[in-house]
Amino acid sequence: MNFNPENMKNLLSLITASLAGILFLASCGGEKKENQGQPGPQAYKVLQVEQRPTSLYNDFPASIQGEQNIEIRPKVDGFIKKIFVDEGQAVKKGQLLFTIDAPQYEQDVRNAAAAVSSAEAAVNTAQLQVNKTIPLVKKEIISNFELESAQNSLKSYTAALAQSRATLANAKTNLGYTRIVSPVNGVVGALPYKLGSLVSSTTTEPLTTISNIGKVYAYFSINEKTQLTFLREAQGKTFAEKLKNLPEVSLILSDGSEYEPKGIIETVSGQVDTQTGSFNVRATFQNPQGLLRSGNSASVRIPSRTTSALLIPQSATYEIQGKLFAYVVGDSSAVKSVELKVQATPSGQAYVVQSGLKAKDIIVIEGITGLAEGTKIKPVFVNADSLKTLK
């Protein structure tokens, strides 16, 4: 084999190039592995908090009372003879509820009727005497004194007749009290007395209560601050005008459902209760189906409109031990947890922030469960108008 210097030179060049390529690839591979071990910040959607118009509401515990709650009490003494209704039954005005067994009142009517008949007979006799005396006086057979005496007797018997008739009317009235009827349309309450019970006008507990629930009143209380806010926002110059222009209110029943139809606030007490610092308020609701009954508990929901609410999605918050928090993006895109005080909006998808945030703060609105205090992120800004939860 012949040694050729030129071939040796080419071989050395090839080996050198190969080694350089291998070293370059190794260097690139190491750099790639190093980069994979330290990934960059993860992207998160964020929102810049700003003041927006929204509708709010305030709920106030309320008690329900019928338009009328009438206690039914006996006016005469006696035993309950018959009960014609049952508890919870709807009744009409004039419908018979109870009868009371009181024979003495029937006897009083019979006695009074007999006295009236006797008095009528006496009047008739006295009238005959007057009629008989008049012609005799005219013929001067008897003196005028006899006529005046007869006329006075007639007046006396006539007065006695009027008194007897009054006694009869009173006896009939008392007898009528043994039939107790409903004074209004309504619903029968509890029936504490059973057949045969002895009752009287002095009985402590009523026979029952009739509640007129064609419309009902919801009574609740508001503090001075709330009262001033409502009246300032309402249109009108006088208190009566402002009260009339307050928005319709809703009634939230004990099962959380909203009652239809809506109601109106009719009265606000004229002075604050010095013990509670609150005003008593009455809202009226129509009750055509009788769903609401006296004694029900509910909440009155009063709507309000604000143009400067710090509105955030509920998905941007998390809860720990009953407290609500959100992540604010700070310097160097690191997140910081802040505690919030909020009020829910009617949609149930957003909060109005009362404290903890201010306008222009940037908060994380998605994926917050994977974050921790101080985590650096890559903010991806979202326009508030594109979020359905804020509408």
pLDDT in tens, 259-299: 999 999 999 887 888 888 889 999 999 998 888 988 899 99
Residue with tokens 């009372």: 65
Give residue 187's domain range.
75-100+179-205
**What are the structure tokens assigned to 289, written together?**
């189906």
Distance between CA atoms of 217 and 285, rounded to whole angstroms? 6
> Residues 132, 194: one domain?
no
Please indicate, yes or no, if residue 33 is contained in any of the structural domains. Answer: no
Is residue 149 domain-shared with residue 267, that is, in the same domain?
Answer: no
Taking 70 as the pLDDT cut, the residues of the chain under it are 1-39
**Residue 14: per-residue pLDDT:** 54
Q: CATH number of the domain that 241 lies in?
A: 2.40.30.170
Q: Which of 205, 223, 252 is the last residue of a domain?
A: 205
C-alpha 274/C-alpha 271 separation (Å) is 9
User: Quick one: 363 exposed, middle or buried, by C-beta within 10 A (0-12, 13-18, 19+)?
Assistant: buried
Determine the pLDDT at residue 75.
92
Same domain membership, residue 186 and residue 94: yes
Looking up residue 82, the CATH number of its domain turns out to be 2.40.50.100
CA distance 85 to 182: 10
Instruction: Round the CA-based radius of gyration of the chain to a whole number and report it.
Output: 46
pLDDT at 15: 58
CATH number of the domain enclosing 363? 2.40.420.20
What is the model's pLDDT at position 32?
Answer: 46
* Domain end position, chosen among 280, 306, 332: 306
Amino acid 31: pLDDT: 47
Based on the domain organization, do 90 and 186 belong to the same domain? yes
Tell me whether residue 9 is in a domain: no
Distances (CA, A) of 43 to 175, 364, 369: 90, 10, 14
Residue 66 Cα distances to 59, 189, 279, 290, angstroms? 21, 12, 21, 10
In eight-state DSSP terms, residue 334 is: B
pLDDT of residue 145: 87
Among 205, 222, 243, the domain-final residue is 205
Structural domains of the chain, count: 4
